[in-house]
Amino acid sequence: MSLWRFFSSPMIFAFDPFVGYFSGTLYDTVIEPGPAMLTYRLGSFATICAAALWASVLERRDDKPFGLVLDLRTTRTRALASLALLATLASAGNVLFGTKLGHFSTAASIATDLGAEKHGERCDVVYPATTREQEARLLVKDCDEQLAAVSMALGVPGPARVRAFFFRDAEDKKRLMGAAHTYIAKPWREEVYLQLGGYPHPVLGHELAHVVAGTFGRGPFRIAGDLGGFLPNPGLIEGIAVAASPDDEDLSDAQWGRAMMQLGLLPNMGRVFSLGFLGDASAKSYTLAGAFIEWLAKTEGMATVRQWYGGGDLTALTGKDWPTLDRAFREYLATVPLPEEAESFAKAKFARPGIFGRKCPHLVDALRHEADVCRDTQRFEEAIRLYREVLAKDASDFASQQSVAVVQRRHGDRAAGEADLLAMTKSDKVPRTYRDRAEEALADADFIDGNYEQAAKRYEGLAARSLDEDGARTLEVKAYGARHLAARPSVRALLLGDEKRGPDIFLGGVELGSWNAKAPSALAGYLIGRNLIGRGFFEDGAKVLDGVWERLDELPFARIKRETLRQRAIAACALNDATALGKVRAQIESPSDPFKGAAGGRRDATLRMIARCSHDAVARP
């Protein structure tokens, strides 16, 4: 029954009388079935009781149909039969109301729960009824645009229609179909399942690529794999989606691949396109698979990739064995330009083990999640206790190491917290990303304590060596706030908070408005415009950023200039403003391109987005 529901409905989770609860995905490590597990067990108990009670009042009679008859001659047997009837009704009710109790879901029950649906050129979008009308229209627009883009990338038209389910949040998605933080596609159902994520949605294109690839996939699940598609090839399944819809990271997949090769982290590519894909961290496996598929499509053609996906033998299709393909791919990676700092970031990002290489990942992640909740609700002593419990089980859980030190520094033993953060920044055993986070936490503490010069130096040092475009931009804004009195209250409220409370978007907005009113600033305008667009106020955000664009040279950092153009392009896409899209593209392709000198991944992603949404945009005066 569970297998049939997996095949015939959106759900991937399962309840079983013997096994219990199966969440359906490897990558969600915090597994909490909630009250549904209790009601399911009660239903199972009712079923067992009903069977036992009916058996106790049945009497074998050869002269009766089926050879059985109810024995209701005594008060005892009539009482047992009554209990059997009640248990049967309880068991039946458990099944009939299974969707309400969370035991299983259907496409219809999920659509009813979410409550709203819109239809586009090729996308049928199911979404929460509480979604604003403008956001709902953008969901449909985004789906149609990204579906057309991945169809073009893969060289096939794809299915006539695709159904996209957008859930309120990760917990809502987990409750209704089983995957919390893992995005899911079911190519054989021509459906994708995601939580709301703004416009443009960062993962929608990837999941749609799975559905489009299903048109040339194998077997009943329409995927790549052996044995008629019943033994999946996860590297090929995910690699083709990554290649068809690259993300907007600062480095391209090929650049990350070269960094891994230089660090000695690049496995034999034949291993990536086997079940060995699951042995490494997901970020590493997905990235390498995508880089290889992109290279293969360039050298052998996308038609070859499609044939391989559909069951062809790659060595026969290319006339090259795996060692030859592996060697040619490495030769290609050696030609890919790479920023100086890429290797250290790649080591931190890709050297960590996959889920099967971690210690007690489900328990550790559940405890860390509980500690994070305590921290965010200002129960700091309990948070510290839980973080330490995590570290007792896995001493190499660097996220908990950093979090407990930060809580100590700001809300507990300040000296001990600072010492722990300093120790992290100096330890070669701590990955680069966590060393930098510890350094940033020390800078934040300096800022809050009023040690602005020290804070600025730390922020600037981190930003100078960071490849994380978003993170480095935040560091630059913090450094600016530390050095400029007029910006300080806004930066503190928006990004840091104070000794008692964390950042507050409302207070940050008030301070930004005050700063910009007293002394109009291009940076204040950028922060206002970006936050307006991030919250769906595209018209207002576009107007503010147009004013900033006219003063682009006044912005203090190149990264903020780049983000100004990217955010203006997002607003133009949302508003179908072809004129603004053309201006942004012209700026990016001009000699004064602010992306010049950057790694390249974000620039390419911005141009792809402009191309994707330009087909139905309208010119404006």
What's the CA gap between 358 and 356, in Å, rounded? Answer: 6
Tokens for 229?
């598609």
253 beta partners: none
Distances (CA, A) of 213 to 12, 122, 151: 20, 16, 9
Q: Which residues contact 228 (CB under 8 A, 6 or more apart)?
A: 218, 219, 311
Tokens for 427?
């330890």
What's the CA gap between 580 and 566, in Å, rounded? Answer: 11
The pLDDT value recorded for residue 299 is: 96
What's the CA gap between 138 and 134, in Å, rounded? Answer: 6
**Number of Cα atoms under 13 Å in the Cβ half of residue 305:** 28
What's the CA gap between 286 and 283, in Å, rounded? Answer: 5
Strand order in the sheet with 191-195: 115-119, 123-128, 162-167, 191-195, 184-186
Distances (CA, A) of 306 to 14, 403, 429, 571: 33, 45, 43, 35
The pLDDT value recorded for residue 344 is: 74
Would you call 430 helix, strand, or coil by DSSP?
Answer: coil
Considering only CA atoms, which of 523, 532, 420 is closest in space to residue 478? 523
How does DSSP assign 315-326, residue by residue?
HHHHT--HHHHH
Mean pLDDT per segment of 10 residues, for the chain of length 621 residues?
A: 81 78 63 78 91 87 70 86 92 88 89 96 97 96 96 95 95 86 92 94 96 96 93 94 88 89 90 81 85 96 97 95 96 90 74 54 77 87 90 86 90 90 92 91 94 97 90 96 96 90 90 91 96 95 96 94 96 95 94 82 89 70 49
The pLDDT value recorded for residue 432 is: 86
The distance of Cα 371 from the centroid of its chain, to the nearest Å, equals: 21
- Taking residue 86's Cβ as centre, other Cβ atoms within 10 Å add up to 14
- Do 299 and 246 meet the contact criterion of CB atoms below 8 Å apart? no
- Do 127 and 196 meet the contact criterion of CB atoms below 8 Å apart? yes
Residue 151 is which amino acid? S
Tokens for 111?
């659509």
